[in-house]
Every structure is written in structure tokens, then in C-alpha cells.
Amino acid sequence: VVIYAAGSGDVSDLTAPSSIDLRSVSLLDSDHSLAQVSLFDSVVSEMARNGGVAWMRTTEKIGGYDLSTSDTEEVHVLAVDDSLVDRKVIERLLRISSCKVTAVDSGRRALQYLGLDEEIQKKETNGFDGLKVDLIITDYCMPGMTGYELLKKVKESSAFREIPVVIMSSENVIARIDRCLEEGAEDFIVKPVKLSDVKRIIDYTTTELREGEQREGARAKRRGINKRKQREGDDDLSSSPPSTLSSSTSSSPSSSIQSATAPSSPSTLDSPTRRLKMTSSE
């Protein structure tokens, strides 16, 4: 994530980060090389210390970057399941779908990996413990922290709320599905998970990533970001959500509908996500 600060304020005034006018957020690969860090580096670290988003550094040369890094980069999935067997299977499914996988056995460990565990103080500006996570796929029923609780913690975090979270469950309970979708889950899969489920989710995630980066790339080029002074009124940006990855929770794509349908369950509604949109919650 890269933040470009606009405005006439003195950016060395680190005690009042709120006075910096944030105009855009762009996505960069986590291991890009940086052309210039001086101006924002201290701002960035200060904002991170204040509990803001986990900023990466920025650069003046954004126009020259190839922002569509997800074309060459694999999707990195954090898989969470307390069952050893299920972890092995989901890992295999994800690898076959050309993903990088990190599999952990609990919600707690997932949060630790992300750097969100409250009990482990992360001093670095970069809150990531490892690779940037593009997708979280988690079991619902787990001892300790359930997948639902993990979902909530991720969505409550400003750093990670844009990461899509998919819930897996062996139980096809409509109320559970609704609750997860309302909390911002991207999708809900009934176990046992099939390869087609995984492929569909990865395709969707990859498209979102690529589209997000293309949108930002187009905007960046349009505005000529390397010249911060030339700020035409970018009203479209100020009204759009700060992260380009946002697949807004209130508009689940129809392609995710099938996933929640158990093939053999007679009592299942065919389209729980559609149902969520149509009805008020009971």
C-alpha cells in the first residue's frame, strides 16, 4: 500500500498526521525496490506507529512502475484449519491452483502471522510477518477462535480489512452463512472443499487484484503522481474507498452463490447470498 499525501502542510510535522490530506492509495508489490523514500519515510513510520494502516514506503517514480504485479505473482493464501487432514487437502488444492500457501492451525496463529496478535507487539512499520496475504480461507468451527471471530478481527483491522476472507464449514447452516457474509466474508464454502470451489475463488481474487491495480495504475498515470503539485480536483478518488481491493460486502457477486449450496442437503436455499440481499435479517 502506498500513500500519497497531498497538500501544502509541512509534512515534517509528524505530530499531527491527521493534517495530511490523503489522496490516494495504490498497490505495490511488497518486494519492489524503492526509488525514493526520504519524504514519506518518516511520515509513514509515524502513521504506522499511530496504529494506522500498515504502510509500505512510497516513491516518486510511481509512474514508472509496473503496477500489475499480480500478473507475474502468485496469489498468497493464508489457510486456517485446526484439522491436519483438512489443512493438507486445502494446501494441495491451493497449490494446484497456483497459489502460494501458508497454512496455520488456529485463528490465533493466523493473527500472529498477519501481525495482528495484540499480545505480540510489532515494532516494525511493516506489520506483516511474512509475505503479503492476498486471501484468507478459514474453517468456521475451530477451538479457541472460530473462523467467524477471525473474520471479525480481520475486518476490524484497518491494515487487513481489504483482504478477502472465505469461510469453510462442514455445516450448511443458513444463519451461519448469513452472519459471515454480513460480517464481510467474501464467500462461504461447504466442506468438503472441491477443486472447483478453490479455482473459482482464486480466479475471483486474481481478477479483483488485477482490476484494482489497473484502476490505480490508470488513475496514477492520469494524475501524473510524480508531480504532486499538479493536483486537479480528484473528486472521484476522495469519494471512493481507500483500498482498491474492496469487494464491498454489501454486494456479493452472484458467482459466489453456488458455493454455499450443499449438494445433498434438502433444506438449503439455492442462493443464500441472494437471499441476504433481498431480505431483511430475521
Partner 1 sequence: MESKHVHQQIAAMRQSFFDEEVLDEKFSQLEQLEGKDNPNFVEEVFTMYFRDSTAFLETIEQAMKTIPIDSIKVDNILHQLKGSSASVGANKVLKEVNKTRQVLGKGNLEGTKAGILELRKEYDSFKAKLEPYFQV
Question: Under rule CB under 8 A, which residues in 177-216 are in contact with partner 1?
Answer: 191-192, 194-195
User: Contacts with partner 1: how many residues (CB under 8 A)?
Assistant: 17
Q: Which is nearer to partner 1, 169 or 247 (CB)?
A: 169
Candidate residues 11, 141, 237, 262; the one interacting with partner 1 per rule CB under 8 A: 141
Smallest separation (angstroms) from partner 1 to the CB of 184: 25
> Is 268 a binder of partner 1 (CB under 8 A)?
no
Asked if 93 is part of the footprint of partner 1 (rule: CB under 8 A), the reply reads: yes
Q: Min. distance of Cβ 89 from partner 1 in angstroms?
A: 6
Give the span between the Cα atoms of 75 and 77, in whole angstroms.
6
Q: Which of residues 96-125 bind partner 1 (CB under 8 A)?
A: 96
Min separation Cβ 278 and partner 1, Å = 31
Could you give the CA distance from residue 263 to residue 84 in angstroms, rounded to a whole number? 25
Q: How far is the CB of 84 from partner 1 (least distance, A)?
A: 5
Distance of closest approach, residue 197 Cβ to partner 1, in angstroms: 11
Residue whose CB is less far from partner 1, 192 or 241: 192
CB 121 within 8 A of CB 131: no
Site string for partner 1, 62-91 (x = CB under 8 A): --------------------xxxxx-xx--
Q: Does 146 bind partner 1 (CB under 8 A)?
A: no
Report in angstroms how near the CB of residue 170 gets to partner 1 at its nearest. Answer: 5
> Nearest CA to 64 among 227, 226, 243, 232?
226
Query: Which CB sits closer to partner 1, 97 or 247?
Result: 97
192: burial class by Cβ within 10 Å (0-12, 13-18, 19+)?
Answer: exposed
Residues making contact with partner 1 (CB under 8 A): 82-86, 88-89, 92-93, 96, 141, 143, 170, 191-192, 194-195
